[in-house]
Structure 1
Amino acid sequence: MHAIVIDKPGGPEALQWREVPDPELGRGDVLIDVAASAVNRADVFQRLGFYDPPPGAPPYPGLECSGVVSEVGPDVEGFAPGDRVCALLSGGGYAEKVAVPWQQVMRVPDGVDLVEAAGLPEVACTVWSNVFMTARLRKGETLLVHGGASGIGTLAVQLAKAFGSRVVVTAGSPEKIARCLELGADEGIDYRREDFAEKVKADVILDIMGGKYLPGNVKALKTGGRLVVIGMQGGAKGELDLGALLTKRASVHGTTLRARPVDEKGVIVRGVVDNVWPLVDAGVIRPVVYARVPMRDAAEAHRILESGDHIGKILLVS
Structure 2
Amino acid sequence: MRNVAVLMPSTVRPFDLAVYCEVWDRPPFAFAICSERPGVPVPTAGGMRVTPAEDLDRLAAADVVAVAPPQEPARDVGPATREALENALARGARVVAAGAGAFLLAAAGLLDGRTVAAPGPYADRMRAWFPRVRIDPGARYRDDDPILTSAGTAAAGIDLCLHLIGKDHGAAAAAAVWSGMALGVARVAEDRRRRDDGVDQVLAWALGNLQEDLSIEVLARRAFLSTRSFARRFRAATGTTPYAWVLEQRIRLAQHLLETEPACGVEEAAGRAGFSSAALLRQHFQRRLGCSPSQYRQRHHERFAPSARG
TM-score by length of 1: 0.28
Greater RCO, CA 8 A, separation 6+: 1
Where is the helix percentage greater, Structure 1 or Structure 2? 2
Bigger strand share: 1
